[in-house]
A and B are shown apart, each in its own frame.
Chain A
């Protein structure tokens, strides 16, 4: 589904790599947390998956496509298979909830009929029925993030990327959002979520990939925010990036 092979990313004008020889495989249907301090490279990884940026070296495969070889004309069509949500929601302030979600479908050329079926469905799924005609500023943060999630999944993407989606929300609201993301994952969408919210990671007990200074230092199934595997010896070298690893705990 997503595979990083020895991916290094050095931003122009910086000496220290944001990602340093990262290898990682995410299988279809997985729910993966990417944890690590601010600046550890989580957002950089998500941007690379989206092909918003290109790696300095190494290769990335997403949905069977080698992102180094994909032509720039095909990138928009590639992105239609991915949904993205951000910490800051990124809604259009002058459009209603309905219009914000419909916009996604309009710009990729879906028919009016399709839009009028799909948008109310997805709004109901994220728990916003009855709020279709509200504007973003009339909604709470949690509701705004639900709109963003609705927009990300309305086109039924295979992968959902979430960059600190609960970063601006209180713990209760955050849990609501996580329940929604788990439900989306249960319906078959692969979810890759960057976060440094320890409470959420510990509660959900999913696969955890930990980054420190652009290196993967831990890749643990059913892990918490802090490792429970002892002892931990250079885990990014010892642990192969891919494959089932149930015995690790």
Chain B
């Protein structure tokens, strides 16, 4: 009996304020789409970070005849100096931090360079003599590159010690900034959604003020009076959340997996399983937001 009564009140409320309900649906839809995008972008960044950071190496570059950087004095590093660096890499202080390392001579560096810049004009200008010899080091913990830098950059014949992660960090900073922008927009839109839900509920309460007045007079409990309004807000917001979840899944399925993955096959992208993990978050945020703001809106109306 009571459930049927509550549900019929909810239905009446939704129909009576149809245009407001539609705007609640749209605003929740858009704001939660931003929330979902922000979450997936973070997931994407983390995924790329762990992929690339694991592969990031530390390069120990040696002096060339043309270099005056670091300890270099426009003379190429001697084989003895190279051996001294290798001895350091094998020493008891550094060895525990090092997973693997290999030496890249000028010829190998030249071939790698030719591979990377194949077809580019610069490739034909470079000769093996211009290339730099280097040790490429994989660390056990990729965050500890500073240890190598401290130990090796002062040695004779060493030009510089470079952590590849410093290049990656720039890229990730840009991605992070865009993800925070999305989060910022999402937060603003969520505030708008909450206010709109509160207004809609207050309007709905106003159009039912006669019933509300009689309910209060005859002793309907506050919870009983509140429930239809809260459900009304939650239903509208949930419709928006479902749309946002659908948009999320569609973006991942058709844009990320369908387009980005085809275009950049080496990169691993967030997949449907990640999107499906975000769906309950969106539904939860939508429902909670609506329940809270509807509750606040209607309890103001109920205060004696």
| Residues of chain A having any CB pair with chain B under 8 Å | 50-54, 72-73, 75-80, 82, 84, 90, 92, 103-104, 106-109, 111-112, 115, 151, 155
Most buried by A among B2, B213, B214: B214
**By the criterion CB–CB under 8 Å, are B2 and A92 in contact?**
no
Partner of A80, one of B213, B218, B224, B225: B218
Q: Which B residues, 2 to 31, have Cβ-Cβ distances below 8 Å to chain A?
A: 2, 5
**By the criterion CB–CB under 8 Å, are A107 and B304 in contact?**
no
Partner of A76, one of B2, B211, B214, B219: B219
Total number of A-B contacts with CB less than 8 angstroms?
A: 56
**By the criterion CB–CB under 8 Å, are B1 and A76 in contact?**
no
**By the criterion CB–CB under 8 Å, are A77 and B214 in contact?**
no
Most buried by A among B219, B221, B225: B219
Q: Which B residues, 53 to 78, have Cβ-Cβ distances below 8 Å to chain A?
A: none
**By the criterion CB–CB under 8 Å, are A107 and B224 in contact?**
yes
Known A107-B5, A109-B2, A111-B1: A84·B217 in contact at CB below 8 Å? yes
Dominant secondary structure at the B interface: helix
**By the criterion CB–CB under 8 Å, are A78 and B217 in contact?**
no
CB-defined A-B contacts under 8 Å, sample of 26: A51-B304, A52-B304, A54-B304, A72-B222, A75-B304, A76-B219, A76-B221, A77-B219, A78-B219, A79-B217, A80-B218, A80-B219, A90-B210, A92-B211, A103-B214, A103-B218, A106-B1, A106-B2, A106-B5, A107-B218, A107-B224, A108-B220, A109-B2, A115-B1, A151-B218, A155-B218
B171 within 8 A of A: no
Partner of B220, one of A52, A76, A78, A90: A76
With a cutoff of 8 Å between Cβ atoms, the chain B residues found around residue A54 in the complex are 304
**By the criterion CB–CB under 8 Å, are A108 and B219 in contact?**
yes
Closest residue of chain B to A72, judged by CB?
A: B304
A112 to B213, CA, bound (A): 23
With a cutoff of 8 Å between Cβ atoms, the chain B residues found around residue A92 in the complex are 210-211, 214
Known A51-B304, A92-B210: A76·B5 in contact at CB below 8 Å? no
Least distance between B216 CB and chain A CB atoms (Å): 7
Least distance between B282 CB and chain A CB atoms (Å): 34
With a cutoff of 8 Å between Cβ atoms, the chain A residues found around residue B215 in the complex are 107
Least distance between A235 CB and chain B CB atoms (Å): 33
**By the criterion CB–CB under 8 Å, are A107 and B220 in contact?**
yes
A125 to B224, CA, bound (A): 29
Least distance between A90 CB and chain B CB atoms (Å): 6
Closest residue of chain B to A95, judged by CB?
A: B211
With a cutoff of 8 Å between Cβ atoms, the chain B residues found around residue A104 in the complex are 214, 218
Most buried by B among A50, A54, A90, A107: A107
With a cutoff of 8 Å between Cβ atoms, the chain A residues found around residue B210 in the complex are 90, 92
Least distance between A210 CB and chain B CB atoms (Å): 27
Known A103-B214, A109-B224: A79·B219 in contact at CB below 8 Å? yes
Closest residue of chain A to B9, judged by CB?
A: A107
A92 to B12, CA, bound (A): 15
A109 to B216, CA, bound (A): 14
Most buried by A among B217, B221, B222, B304: B217
With a cutoff of 8 Å between Cβ atoms, the chain B residues found around residue A151 in the complex are 218
**By the criterion CB–CB under 8 Å, are A79 and B218 in contact?**
yes
Closest residue of chain B to A115, judged by CB?
A: B1
